[in-house]
Amino acid sequence: MKSTVTPIRSVVAESAPPALAIQTKDLAVHYGALCAVRGVSLQVPQQQITAIIGPSGCGKTSVLSSLNRLTDLIPGARVSGQILIDGADVLWPAYDPVALRRRVGKVFQKPNPFPLSIARNLDLPLRDQGVRNADERAGRIEAVLRRVGLWDEVAQRLDMPAQQLSGGQQQRLCIARALVLEPDILLMDEPCSALDPIASGVVEGLIEELRGDYTVVVVTHNLQQARRIADHLAVFWTSGDAGCLVEQGPAGAIFDSPKQAITAAYLDGRCC
Ligand SMILES: Nc1ncnc2c1ncn2[C@@H]1O[C@H](COP(=O)(O)OP(=O)(O)O)[C@@H](O)[C@H]1O
Ligand SMILES: [Mg+2]
pLDDT in tens, 87-127: 899 999 999 999 999 999 999 999 999 999 999 999 999 99
In this structure, are strands 20-31 and 43-45 parallel, antiparallel, or unpaired?
antiparallel
Please name the residue whose Cα sits nearest to atom 25 of ligand 1. Answer: 57
Pocket of ligand 1 (CB under 6 A): 31, 34, 36, 56-62, 74, 243
Q: How far apart are CA 131 and CA 136, in angstroms?
A: 8
Q: In one letter, which amino acid is 11?
A: V
What is the pTM for the complete model shown? Answer: 0.93
Expressed in angstroms and rounded, the spacing between residue 100 Cα and the centre of ligand 1 is 23
Classified by CATH at the fold level, domain 17-112+184-267 comes out as: Rossmann fold (3.40.50)
User: According to the model, what pLDDT value does residue 86 have?
Assistant: 87
Determine the atom of ligand 1 nearest the C-alpha atom of 62: 17
Residue pair 249/233 in contact (Cβ under 8 Å)? The answer is: yes
pLDDT digits over 48-81, tens only? 999 999 999 999 999 999 999 999 999 999 999 9
Q: How far apart are CA 238 and CA 216, in angstroms?
A: 24
DSSP-derived letter for residue 213 is T
Contacts of 80 (CB under 8 A, 6+ apart): 26, 27, 28, 30, 91
Vertex 110: Cα angle to 164 and 136 (nearest 5): 60
